[in-house]
């Protein structure tokens, strides 16, 4: 059976509809490709991403049975269409109660140097974060306080469901359901959520140097990038949100936004975490939800204006202080501010919003079917090959083991743009028909028991 890899994610050519999971044809979470310019991967050695584990995590993530009255799931506050965030300032819990802080986007959490979770970093790992909303009194309702049951009641509930009597043994080898196993599966799925198909990524792959002029950027975008990368005090967003992951530095203190939605009379200085700056804006040009822990800012320009004039407080990060510990005023020009906004808008991808691998596996009525299916053995990412020159102009040469292979090239939107057979040990591909940009090249053996992938850039 021929297999189709869309931007590195295994999608079977007979894609099953929502509401069905075929255990013989799982999405390939294990081989998700990521750019070689990333520096961190916080996946723990005792919880690597597996196809089975991430599949279980996906089902748990979307399952409303995890809330006390079966009305909300993790995905209710972290919606795929909004980069796994929420456009509401405060999300709504199982009984209509608002969350105490704005829901973070869950993009690229695997590649954050700081793996602590929540705005106040109260969870040391993504694993520990996953079940805290479930045990929150207002969010999902298994708090064990105020008349609510404990998470043990939820575990009993899930243990009685057929889907989990199948999936938990598949992942862990036995049917015993525990909070630890839930944490491991949920965190595998969350770490799989990634977005690296932005215009920024395309430009960086082509230029090979983040400080270089990106040929796919406008002058305003390049100017904004240069301002972002400046030393502290001259723009210097990079000093806290380090590119290319654009996640937060683990050692930052608060950023001057100190409102306390739960008690407006008291400052909250505990918010030292933030999501990545990637995908703040959706492909439609609209924000994927308000910004900051209190959801108080509704445009990128508003955020930049804040950082251009920050009121000091006792816990303010030193990088944000002015001279003599006073309020900091950088003095951006209006043009500089617009350039920064233009650059930040280049950090938005497209695939993560629609990829089936991240989508709701349930039918609208809440049903789901687990089937065994039949298929040939899936390919494994074990084929090694070389491509050159890369970047290229018209032709791409391949150095391969000695047999026939099938080549597919995908655009950054996941569209198949070229397909042909090639013959090892040397062959070449004519790329003249392709426009400039970055592409995902996939080489698979004809018997489809081996494949490999590589980024290529056409100038």
Confidence at residue 16, expressed as pLDDT on a 0 to 100 scale: 44
Confidence at residue 61, expressed as pLDDT on a 0 to 100 scale: 98
Confidence at residue 327, expressed as pLDDT on a 0 to 100 scale: 65
Q: CB 239: neighbour CB atoms within 10 A?
A: 19
Confidence at residue 1, expressed as pLDDT on a 0 to 100 scale: 26
Q: How many residues does the chain have?
A: 459
Confidence at residue 126, expressed as pLDDT on a 0 to 100 scale: 98
Confidence at residue 234, expressed as pLDDT on a 0 to 100 scale: 63
Within 13 Å, how many C-alpha atoms sit on residue 44's CB side?
Answer: 14
Q: CB 329: neighbour CB atoms within 10 A?
A: 10
Residues 351 and 197 sit within 8 Å (Cβ to Cβ)? yes
Bond prior to 389 in cis (omega within 30° of 0): yes
Cα separation, 12 vs 51, whole angstroms: 14
Confidence at residue 185, expressed as pLDDT on a 0 to 100 scale: 98
Confidence at residue 233, expressed as pLDDT on a 0 to 100 scale: 60
Confidence at residue 14, expressed as pLDDT on a 0 to 100 scale: 32
Tokens found for residue 294: 């209190």
Alpha-carbon Rg for the chain, nearest whole angstrom, is 23
DSSP characters for 299-368?
SHHHHHHHHHEEPP-TTB-GGG--GGG--EE----HHHHHHHHHHHHTT--SGGGT-GGGS--S-TTS--
Cα separation, 160 vs 171, whole angstroms: 17
Confidence at residue 403, expressed as pLDDT on a 0 to 100 scale: 77
CA angle (200, 205, 209) in 5-degree steps = 85
- The DSSP bridge pattern shows strands 386-388 and 416-423 to be unpaired
Task: Say what the pTM is.
Answer: 0.80
**3-class SS of residue 420:** strand
Residues 384 and 451 sit within 8 Å (Cβ to Cβ)? no
Domains and CATH numbers, the chain: 3-195+352-371 (1.10.760.10), 199-345 (1.10.760.10), 380-458 (2.60.40.3080)
Task: Mark the ranges of the chain whose per-residue pLDDT is less than 70.
Answer: 1-18, 232-235, 324-329, 373-383, 412-413, 447-451
Residues 90 and 96 sit within 8 Å (Cβ to Cβ)? no
> How is residue 449 annotated by DSSP?
S
């Amino acid at each position: 059976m021929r297999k189709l890899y869309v931007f590195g994610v295994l999608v079977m050519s007979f894609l099953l509809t929502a509401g069905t999971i075929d255990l013989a044809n799982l999405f390939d979470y294990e081989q998700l490709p990521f750019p070689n310019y990333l520096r961190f991967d916080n996946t723990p050695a005792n919880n690597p991403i597996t196809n089975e584990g991430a599949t279980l995590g996906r089902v748990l993530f979307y399952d409303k049975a995890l809330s006390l009255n079966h009305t909300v799931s993790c995905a209710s506050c972290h919606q795929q269409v909004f980069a796994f965030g929420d456009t509401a300032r405060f999300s709504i819990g199982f009984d209509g109660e608002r969350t105490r802080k704005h829901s973070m986007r869950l993009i690229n959490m695997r590649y954050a140097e700081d793996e602590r979770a929540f705005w106040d970093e109260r969870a040391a790992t993504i694993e520990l974060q996953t079940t805290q909303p479930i045990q929150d009194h207002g969010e999902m309702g298994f708090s064990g306080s105020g008349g609510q049951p404990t998470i043990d009641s939820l575990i009993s509930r899930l243990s009685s469901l057929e889907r989990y009597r199948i999936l938990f043994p598949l992942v862990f080898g036995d049917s015993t359901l525990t909070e630890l196993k839930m944490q491991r599966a949920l965190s595998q799925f969350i770490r799989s959520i990634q977005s690296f198909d932005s215009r920024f990524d395309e430009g960086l792959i082509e230029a090979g140097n983040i400080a270089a002029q990106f040929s796919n950027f406008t002058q305003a975008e390049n100017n904004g990038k240069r301002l972002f990368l400046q030393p502290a005090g001259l723009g210097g967003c990079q000093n806290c949100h380090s590119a290319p992951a654009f996640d937060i530095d683990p050692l930052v203190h608060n950023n001057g936004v100190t409102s306390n939605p739960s008690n407006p009379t008291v400052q909250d200085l505990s918010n030292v975490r933030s999501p990545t700056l990637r995908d703040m804006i959706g492909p439609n040009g609209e924000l994927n939800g308000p910004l900051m822990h209190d959801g108080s800012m509704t445009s990128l320009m508003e955020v930049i204006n804040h950082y251009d004039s920050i009121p000091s407080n006792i816990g303010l990060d030193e990088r944000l202080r002015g001279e003599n510990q006073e309020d900091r005023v950088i003095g951006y020009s209006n043009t500089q501010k617009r350039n920064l906004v233009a650059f930040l808008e280049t950090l938005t991808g497209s695939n993560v919003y629609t990829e089936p691998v991240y989508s709701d596996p349930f039918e609208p009525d809440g049903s789901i079917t687990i089937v065994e299916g039949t298929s040939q053995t899936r390919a494994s990412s074990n084929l090694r090959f070389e491509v050159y020159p890369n970047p290229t102009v018209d032709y791409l040469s391949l150095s391969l083991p000695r047999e026939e292979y099938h080549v597919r090239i995908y655009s950054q939107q996941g569209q198949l743009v070229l397909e042909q057979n090639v013959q090892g040990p040397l062959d070449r591909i004519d790329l003249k028909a392709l426009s400039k940009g970055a592409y995902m090249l996939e080489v698979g053996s004809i018997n489809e028991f081996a494949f490999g992938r590589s980024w290529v850039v056409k100038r």
